[in-house]
Amino acid sequence: MSKKPTKYIFVTGGVTSSLGKGIVSASLGLLLKERGFNVTIQKLDPYINIDPGTLNPYEHGECYVTQDGAETDLDLGHYERFLDSNTSQNNNVTTGRIYQTVIEKERRGDFLGKTVQVIPHITNEIKRRIKILAKQNYDIIITEIGGTVGDIESLPYIESVRQLRWELGEHNSLVIHLTLVPYLAASGELKTKPSQHSVRQLMEYGIQADILVCRTEHNITKEIRAKLAQFCNVDITSVIESKDLDTIYEVPLNLQKQNFDDVVLNTLNLKSEKKAELKDWKQFLKRYKNPKRKVEIALVGKYISLQDSYKSIVESFIHAGAELETEVKIRWVYSGDITEQNVAQTFEGIDGILIAPGFGDRGIEGKIQAARFAREAKIPTLGICLGMQIMTIEFARTVLGLEKANSVEFDSSTVDPVISLMEDQKNVVEKGGTMRLGAWKCSLKLGSKLHEIYGGRNISERHRHRYEFNSEYSKAFESNGLVPTGFNPETQLVETLELKDHPFYVGVQYHPEYKSTVESPHPLFVAFVKAVQSK
């Protein structure tokens, strides 16, 4: 039997950015997965960076890392958390990467003397990147186009979608246009004009949207639906409302209520007898919305003004909290403000502390103060990546008496480089894509706290860092109570630290937050919240 053709769904955005294309894509992916289809979601980003790895989290939010070591847009985190399945390098492509590939081909002479142009060379490369995922046997590929229709930089993507739709033929692709229906308080009305314009703009580029998803603060009335349908050439059942909700995790249910998945399947000529029951999902939501207790955890970081910078950590707390029927409130603490004088006051009444990942030396001394306070006051604490490195520096300075101990990231000539560079990192000059990235195996010490937490000794977690715990200091740490308990089985690099005689003081060099999903809350976050709860 020949393989059924892969179906393609394109998600575009109109009127403004930040309407939540990522959440709509992830929600649709979940619904289609529940209907029995093998689905993946891809994001095309119209900026020139090769990947978001070199972008400041202030600009672009968290950099999410996939299993195979791709540094990607934070939307990929949503895709994984909703679908409970892995994405890869192929799931996030930027204009930079597209051009890089085309220019490399040009230098090799692959174009045989032709003039290299946006159409067809760039658009061909975009189409290739979209279709590449079909090789992995997906029934449906959802491709989210970053930016807003009309942006100069997203034009080649829109043109590629136009060409692809034509090539794929009827019923093999569909376009969902996410738009804003603003409310004018002065006249008490919802307005459809911006959406009409953005759909029309899409039509100017040769693309007719099949489905409109309308972000709105108020319910869209039947009349508004009819008006949108009429002006935008879509069926009235294809006008879907996406009202602001308490949590992003309610979005799939809200879309399902309007038969969003049926509309999509009908348009693609796909049939499924299976209903999307979303039993576990609903269970999760129920627990999340009806917590039995509340804890407050301080998130100590330097990118505090934009909470997107720590997206996966925030979501991991939501998953773990729901699992334990506990509301996890986050107290955002800017590490640059913490001093020896105000540290106790900063953490007054706090139940737990998370020392966040990060780069560069701003706010480091404040984080060290936080680590010391948490250790001495016996507050349950989790240090992630830079957080573990901070725990190491603090312990070396205060307990081991190595006053000048530091990471070579912050002091390249420190006499006690307790966090140092691995040999193979020493000559690296390029910043992009050169860190220790992606999933690495880790063996946990028999009988360690982490062994118990994970329920096994062999784990695999995702990394994103350049610096490492310096094993030359292992013995000194261990004999003074901060024990290395997890090791890379090949290189013996120290991946985890646990403090003795403390309710919970754990540092991990990896990022557990990248692997927490609604279906599988991460055991380390669950254990941490449990420890916080019993403080």
**Residues with active-site annotation:** 385, 511, 513
Cβ 206 vs Cβ 240: under 8 Å: no
**265/36 Cα distance (integer angstroms):** 12
**Which CB atom, from 127 or from 466, has the smaller least distance to ligand GLN?**
466
Rounded Cα gap, residues 436 and 510, in angstroms:
10
Residues that bind ligand GLN (CB under 6 A): 357-359, 385-386, 409, 464-467
Count the helix, strand and coil residues of the chain and give each as a percent rounded to the nearest 5: 40, 20, 35
C-beta of 423: minimal distance to ligand GLN in Å? Answer: 15
Exposure string for 119-150, b = 16+ CB within 10 A, e = fewer = eebbbebbbebbeebbeeebbbbbbbbbbbbb
Q: Which residues contact 480 (CB under 8 A, 6 or more apart)?
A: 395, 399, 400
CA separation for the pair 479, 296 (Å, rounded): 32
Q: Measured from the CB atom, is 88 or 509 closer to ligand GLN?
A: 509
Rounded to whole angstroms, the Cα distance separating 535 from 529 reads: 10
SS3 (DSSP) at 266 = helix
**What are the beta bridge partners of residue 464?**
437
Residue 295: CB minimum distance to ligand GLN, A: 24
Q: Are strands 7-13 and 39-45 parallel, antiparallel or unpaired?
A: unpaired
Q: What angle do CA 361, 362, 368 make, to 5 degrees?
A: 75
CB 358 within 8 A of CB 288: no
Comparing CB distances to ligand GLN, the nearer of 333 and 386 is: 386
Q: Which is nearer to ligand GLN, 210 or 409 (CB)?
A: 409
Minimum Å gap between C-beta 33 and ligand GLN is 30
> Based on CB atoms, which residue is closest to ligand GLN, 457 or 466?
466
Q: How far is the CB of 507 from ligand GLN (least distance, A)?
A: 11
**Nearest CA among 218, 412, 396 for reference residue 404:** 396
Report, in Å, the least distance between residue 389 CB and ligand GLN.
Answer: 6
Nearer to ligand GLN, 192 or 392 (CB): 392
Q: How far is the CB of 308 from ligand GLN (least distance, A)?
A: 16
